[in-house]
Amino acid sequence: MLILAIESSCDDTAAAVLEPENRVRSSVVSSQNEIHARFGGIVPELASRRHIEMIRPVVDEALAQAGVGLDDIDLIAATRGPGLVGSLLVGFTFAKALALVRGLPCVGVDHMAGHLLSCLLENPQPAFPYTALIVSGGNTSLFAVDDPLTFTRLGRTRDDAAGEAFDKVAKLLGLGYPGGPAISHLAADGDPAAIAFPRARLGEDSLDFSFSGLKTSVAAHVDGQRRSGAPLAVADICASFQEAVVDVLADKTLAAAERTGHRRVVLGGGVAANPRLRAVLAERCAARGFKLFLPAPALCTDNAAMIGLAGYYRFLAGQLAAADTDAYSRSPLN
Ligand code: KG4
């Protein structure tokens, strides 16, 4: 069986061709970073217009790289939500229309489900059940994953997502968009203990997150330094901010795994590409006897391969999309 998968939930137009269970034949991602960089964040209207321009070439490229044509495709999977509705509608409508004219089954996939299963595209794969931290520009949530269709949310951010905090702090420091890679790069030369930024624990038993106080604290620090005329120690600010985010993410993930009793921990989402988060989680999981599964950075950030895999399981369960199935902006999983 060959699956054509499409992802357009935010600012990347992506398509992939894969064979279940875990053979990715091609995975193409067209980034819009240069369009949104000067605004310091994503402009939804510009994102959906760019998806319209890119969807066809990206799908063609994914088919070409896989060495197949539309005649070889057996199933079409596309992200149905959550995300920017204008962006989602481009990919999802394209997928449904293509399925309709080709007489193929089509499945609508939850973007979060894609992130939760992306580690299954790696070798070795984690066995079920596992505890997963999904941390991106739009989400920061912990889940218990019992099987490819059963996800139970254990905690989530009460305000900003961790990636959003990276992006906002980067904007404050004039580092451009997306902020995560720029901050993690600069943080490598900074002192993580230079500035004691706050960690929001939200109570002993809480598996929720909060990053807006941290963001405000960085803004107050930067403002204070600028007012006093002192030079900004940008690398130290980046390292100290990153450490505060990573510390809380790692702590809560380990607490979630202790609570579920799972021995396997999985990471997903764009911020999962952060080298410091990967290193700290690896260290703490090893110390507590958990096995950690880290997808390659290209599978952490938005991609269509993970949507194809999640779509395959929905297809097996008979959960097909109809021509009038709508996109949604908020995930029922979250
Ligand atoms: O999953 P993703 O590609 O898109 C969604 O938000 O769904 O994640 C993008 C987010 C952005 O906020 C970006 O700043 C962050 O992931 N990110 C990182 C790193 N690479 C990407 N954050 C921290 N460190 C990184 N190395």
Question: How many domains does the chain fold into?
Answer: 2
In-domain check, residue 191? yes
Same domain, yes or no: 175 and 194: yes
Give per-residue pLDDT as tens, 29-75. 999 988 988 887 889 999 999 999 999 999 999 999 999 999 999 99
pLDDT of residue 40: 78
Q: Are residues 132 and 192 in the same domain?
A: yes
Share of the chain above pLDDT 90, in %: 91
**SS3 of the chain:** CCEEEEECCCCEEEEEEEECCCEEEEEEEEECHHHHHHHCCCCHHHHHHHHHHHHHHHHHHHHHHHCCCHHHCCEEEEEEECCCHHHHHHHHHHHHHHHHHHCCCEEEEEHHHHHHHHHHHCCCCCCCCEEEEEECCCCEEEEEEEECCEEEEEEEECCCCHHHHHHHHHHHCCCCCCHHHHHHHHHCCCCCCCCCCCCCCCCCCCCCECCHHHHHHHHHHHHHHHHHCCCCCHHHHHHHHHHHHHHHHHHHHHHHHHHHCCCEEEEECHHHHCHHHHHHHHHHHHHHCCEEECCCHHHHCCCCHHHHHHHHHHHHCCCCCCCCCCCCCCCCCC
Atom of ligand 1 nearest to the CA of 162: 12
Same domain? 190 vs 282? yes
On the question of pLDDT at 177 being above 90, the answer is no
Quick one: pLDDT at residue 313?
Answer: 97
Q: Which of 136, 185, 281 to mutate to test the pocket of ligand 1 (most atoms within 8 A of CB)?
A: 136
178 band by pLDDT with thresholds 50, 70 and 90: confident
Domain span at residue 144 reads: 123-294
pLDDT at position 21 over 80 = no
User: Given this model, what pLDDT does residue 172 score?
Assistant: 93
Q: What is the pLDDT of residue 69?
A: 98
Question: Are 24 and 136 found together in one domain?
Answer: no
Q: Is the pTM of this model over 0.85?
A: yes
207 and 271 belong to one structural domain: yes
Residue 17 alpha carbon to ligand 1 centre in Å: 23
210-244 pLDDT per residue, tens: 999 999 999 999 999 999 998 899 999 999 999 99
Whether 40 is in the pocket of ligand 1, judged by its Cβ within 6 Å, is no
**Same structural domain, 181 and 241:** yes
The CA 230 to ligand 1 mean position distance, Å, reads: 30
* Cα–ligand 1 centroid distance for 157 (angstroms): 15
The residue with greater pLDDT, 105 or 23, is 105
